[in-house]
Chains A and B, each alone.
Chain A
Amino acid sequence: MKILTTPHMERCIGCYSCAMACARLVHQNLSWLTAGIRIKSSGGLSTGYTAITCLACDPAPCAAVCPTDAFAQRKGGGVIVRKKYCIHCGECAQACPVEAIYLDNTSDPFVCIHCGRCVDYCPHACLEMQSSGNEQPDESGQEVAP
């Protein structure tokens, strides 16, 4: 299983193309927040940018606290998201140690599903899909996009 990584963020120019691609292609939104990857300046633009995204924990603390299985463990790290089960409790966002889960005004959670669709939109190749190191076969089938 591959996961989204951000190994070259020192190249980032702050164009937000990745975040907006995720919002556009995965969530069908025009937004720079309702996305699985979000860009922040790390203390003013002079110090460059940081990508806030899922680190593909295994086990994932967000999945562990989800009371409805809307977030389930993904093989190789991260979570499979089934929004139809989500009750907007926000526990997942609380549990994430790196604030990778964004809650909108209705506490609808947005997290990276490691689909890689943002990667091609980075003009400076800051993002890469990499092997998670866990090569066990994925028995859960295709991850479900929200």
Chain B
Amino acid sequence: MIRDTFRILQMDLTSGRGQVMTLDGRNDFAGGSGLAAFLFDKFGRPDQPWDTPEQPLIFAIGPLTGYFPLMSKTVCAFKSPYHDQYAESHAGGRSALALRFADLDALVVTGQAATLSCLAVGNHHIDLKDVHYLRGKDVDATGKMLRRMYPGSGHRSIMRIGPAGEIGSAMAGINVDTYRHFGRLGGGAVMGTKNLKGIVIEGDAAFGLPKGKAYRNLFEDVYSRMTTTDMMSKYHNLGTAANLDALNALKSLPWRNLQQTRDAAISGVTGERFADDTLLRNAACAGCPVGCIHIGFVREKFMAENQYLYRQVAYDYEPIFATGTMLGVTDAFAVLGIMDVVEKMGLDVMSAGVALAWATEAAEKGLISEKESIVALRFGDAPAFKQAMQHLGQGANEFYCLLGQGALKAAAQYGGEDFACVLGQEMAGYATGEVYYVAQALGLRHSHLDTGGYSYDQKHDEKDAAKAIAFLVSDEQERVALTSMVSCLFARGVYTPDLLAECLATLGYATLSSDMTTIAGNIQQKRWQIRLATGFDPAQVKIPKRFLEINTWKGQTDPAYLARLKAGYAAAIKSMARLNPIPNA
């Protein structure tokens, strides 16, 4: 191991000064999700609004970061502009390894810079630079500028926000190294309110490895499982886009603001279609040989006489669902064109797509008009959606500013709450059934990756709420163990609890190795305590009527089963939050 403590940099943007701290707590909080909760407890102000300058923006890695394949993610934690509660968002890119080689277990950004600024940190430097001239610049242009302004090409991570973050949109994400994102719950607005346009992390630290063959042999074993077995082939081959066809066949793919769950027009936007027609190449997060990032292209004729431009756009299942099927757009290149605008604006693609799907149905029903939407919104009209995404990202008028705070916020003013596809935040693309709806609506991150609720739905048609809730609680605990390491959750089939224990042991983390299940349970409880302390009441969560109206492979949603699940999971969450096994050091 590098150390059995945490090495943290707290950067105060108000004073422009950083403080390096060594904190105890490794055996209680491990890293990643656990470390982020620990640091929010230390630096956060649960009773004050998200945009209070003192609120922390936390980036945390874990004890296995860089030491094993796919230990390549960073946990970002903050008080969210979306619901003013504690939030986590995860991303890869080079962020995790850049923090590792900057010799930081976490970066905690507090305060507010005097002018729009870019923060550069590493193991030998801290620099806060005025970048007022980047105000309003999109994510692509900002990335190009920052790459020229800072050294370290290839061995740095560049995080930045677009216009959406600058205007405080609750759907603003943080772009990480062009193709990855801390997308959900408004981390981009937290950077924006801190006057932080970019963060560049670059380090050149090197760490000695354990003597003997145990570590090397275990690395070989894990690497082999990741690359030579079929356990990861889904992600390597078509990528998550393979889910489109599969979920459509299961009547579980949201179409046109979840007015349908299956459509024959799927043939235009399947994983195969994207791969055959649009895929340029694959890419990977640093430290991951799987390479699940699929990069397609958009090509535009901008002038007569065959003058074209092209841009590269990464696609995945979720962005295709959000800007494709959910908006009724069924041409792969048109979908990529909408995603391209989303990327430039620095919006979270799932939130933005689902919000525009609500707006489109609201327009169909006459609740809003072009006075609000500026451009006429119709399902399938990709050029209109590209314009609307720009309006949403820039907060072009009062309507788009409100929509950027969430579809339900806009619906509260304009009507249409029944068909806002919001489960805690705008839904992910799984209309699989009652367990998933409850799992996302009440989940800590309101993410499809909080738990495997979508998978449970596909394997179980009995309506045993207690069994489903027990699954959600135990599955979350296993995932918390992984996100405290910090593993990519795509590797969850490889990193079993036993293998995690072996990895931790070979690096010398004896306590974490022997007791990670218990420790993960404690971290799970700690996260819920913080979430509830910042205002979350799982019993008050509402699941909009649209989710009761749809048909999946199991038939129509059962409202009684949904209610039992919701009440039971809310009680389980409250029960977890009442336990307090690990007070902060």
Closest to B297 in A: A46
Please give, as numbers and ranges, the residues of chain B lying within 8 Å of A40 by CB-CB distance.
Answer: 153-155
User: Provided the pairs A13-B282, A32-B155, A45-B283 are in contact, do residues A123 and B289 lie with their beta carbons within 8 angstroms?
Assistant: yes
Asked if B312 lies at the interface with its beta carbon under 8 angstroms from chain A, I say yes
Whether the Cβ atoms of A14 and B204 lie closer than 8 Å is no
Whether the Cβ atoms of B207 and A31 lie closer than 8 Å is yes
* Cβ contact of B289, chosen from A15, A28, A32, A48, cutoff 8 A: A15
Whether the Cβ atoms of A15 and B219 lie closer than 8 Å is no
Whether the Cβ atoms of B143 and A28 lie closer than 8 Å is no
Asked if B6 lies at the interface with its beta carbon under 8 angstroms from chain A, I say no
Closest to A31 in B: B206
The residues in A between 118 and 139 inclusive whose CB is less than 8 angstroms from any CB of B are: 121, 123-124
Asked if B459 lies at the interface with its beta carbon under 8 angstroms from chain A, I say no
Asked if B371 lies at the interface with its beta carbon under 8 angstroms from chain A, I say no
Whether the Cβ atoms of A13 and B283 lie closer than 8 Å is yes
The residues in A between 48 and 76 inclusive whose CB is less than 8 angstroms from any CB of B are: 48-50
- Give B220 Cβ to nearest chain A Cβ, in Å: 10
Whether the Cβ atoms of A17 and B101 lie closer than 8 Å is no
A interface list, Cβ under 8 A from B:
13-17, 20, 23-25, 27-34, 38-41, 43-46, 48-50, 104-105, 121, 123-124
Please give, as numbers and ranges, the residues of chain A lying within 8 Å of B179 by CB-CB distance.
Answer: 45
Asked if B223 lies at the interface with its beta carbon under 8 angstroms from chain A, I say yes
Asked if B299 lies at the interface with its beta carbon under 8 angstroms from chain A, I say no
* Cβ contact of B291, chosen from A15, A43, A46, A104, cutoff 8 A: A15
Please give, as numbers and ranges, the residues of chain A lying within 8 Å of B282 by CB-CB distance.
Answer: 13
Whether the Cβ atoms of B207 and A13 lie closer than 8 Å is no
Whether the Cβ atoms of B209 and A43 lie closer than 8 Å is no
- Give B314 Cβ to nearest chain A Cβ, in Å: 9
Whether the Cβ atoms of A32 and B101 lie closer than 8 Å is yes
Whether the Cβ atoms of A15 and B209 lie closer than 8 Å is no
Whether the Cβ atoms of A14 and B216 lie closer than 8 Å is no
Asked if B205 lies at the interface with its beta carbon under 8 angstroms from chain A, I say yes
* Complex CA–CA separation, A23 to B216 (angstroms): 12
- Give B160 Cβ to nearest chain A Cβ, in Å: 12
* Cβ contact of A13, chosen from B69, B143, B291, cutoff 8 A: B291
* Complex CA–CA separation, A25 to B67 (angstroms): 13
Whether the Cβ atoms of A123 and B66 lie closer than 8 Å is no
User: Provided the pairs A24-B219, A29-B208, A123-B291 are in contact, do residues A44 and B284 lie with their beta carbons within 8 angstroms?
Assistant: no
15 contacts between A and B (CB under 8 A): A14-B283, A15-B284, A16-B287, A17-B287, A24-B219, A29-B209, A30-B66, A31-B205, A31-B207, A41-B153, A43-B153, A44-B147, A45-B177, A45-B178, A46-B312
User: Provided the pairs A15-B284, A44-B147 are in contact, do residues A121 and B178 lie with their beta carbons within 8 angstroms?
Assistant: no
* Cβ contact of B287, chosen from A20, A27, A29, A44, cutoff 8 A: A20
The residues in B between 265 and 281 inclusive whose CB is less than 8 angstroms from any CB of A are: 281
* Complex CA–CA separation, A124 to B177 (angstroms): 21
Closest to A50 in B: B154
- Give A13 Cβ to nearest chain B Cβ, in Å: 4
Whether the Cβ atoms of A25 and B289 lie closer than 8 Å is no
Please give, as numbers and ranges, the residues of chain B lying within 8 Å of A13 by CB-CB distance.
Answer: 281-284, 291, 293
Total count of chain B residues near the partner, CB < 8 A: 39
Please give, as numbers and ranges, the residues of chain B lying within 8 Å of A104 by CB-CB distance.
Answer: 204, 206
* Complex CA–CA separation, A24 to B179 (angstroms): 27
Asked if B458 lies at the interface with its beta carbon under 8 angstroms from chain A, I say no
Closest to B147 in A: A44
Closest to B228 in A: A123
* Cβ contact of B206, chosen from A23, A48, A50, cutoff 8 A: A23
What mask results when residues 189 to 223 of chain B are scored 1 for a CB within 8 Å of chain A, else 0? 00000000000000011111100000010010001
Asked if B467 lies at the interface with its beta carbon under 8 angstroms from chain A, I say no
Whether the Cβ atoms of B206 and A14 lie closer than 8 Å is no
Whether the Cβ atoms of B286 and A14 lie closer than 8 Å is yes
* Cβ contact of B227, chosen from A25, A31, A123, cutoff 8 A: A123
- Interface core residue of B154, B207, B209 (most chain A CB under 10 Å): B154
Asked if B288 lies at the interface with its beta carbon under 8 angstroms from chain A, I say yes
User: Provided the pairs A13-B283, A15-B289 are in contact, do residues A28 and B154 lie with their beta carbons within 8 angstroms?
Assistant: no
* Complex CA–CA separation, A43 to B146 (angstroms): 11
- Interface core residue of B100, B124, B206 (most chain A CB under 10 Å): B206
Whether the Cβ atoms of B206 and A29 lie closer than 8 Å is yes
The 7 lowest CB-CB distance pairs between A and B, nearest first, are A40-B154, A31-B206, A13-B291, A15-B284, A13-B284, A123-B289, A30-B207
* Cβ contact of B208, chosen from A17, A20, A28, A49, cutoff 8 A: A28
Asked if B144 lies at the interface with its beta carbon under 8 angstroms from chain A, I say yes
Asked if B97 lies at the interface with its beta carbon under 8 angstroms from chain A, I say yes
Please give, as numbers and ranges, the residues of chain B lying within 8 Å of A48 by CB-CB distance.
Answer: 281
Whether the Cβ atoms of A105 and B291 lie closer than 8 Å is no
User: Provided the pairs A31-B205, A31-B207 are in contact, do residues A39 and B154 lie with their beta carbons within 8 angstroms?
Assistant: yes
Please give, as numbers and ranges, the residues of chain B lying within 8 Å of A29 by CB-CB distance.
Answer: 206-209
* Complex CA–CA separation, A32 to B179 (angstroms): 20
Closest to B178 in A: A45
Closest to B154 in A: A40
- Give A122 Cβ to nearest chain B Cβ, in Å: 8
Please give, as numbers and ranges, the residues of chain B lying within 8 Å of A17 by CB-CB distance.
Answer: 69, 223, 287, 289
- Interface core residue of B155, B179, B281, B293 (most chain A CB under 10 Å): B155
* Complex CA–CA separation, A30 to B286 (angstroms): 13
Whether the Cβ atoms of B147 and A15 lie closer than 8 Å is no
Please give, as numbers and ranges, the residues of chain B lying within 8 Å of A31 by CB-CB distance.
Answer: 101, 205-207
Whether the Cβ atoms of B154 and A41 lie closer than 8 Å is yes
User: Provided the pairs A23-B206, A44-B143, A45-B283 are in contact, do residues A16 and B97 lie with their beta carbons within 8 angstroms?
Assistant: yes
* Complex CA–CA separation, A50 to B227 (angstroms): 22
- Give A28 Cβ to nearest chain B Cβ, in Å: 5
Please give, as numbers and ranges, the residues of chain A lying within 8 Å of B209 by CB-CB distance.
Answer: 24, 28-30
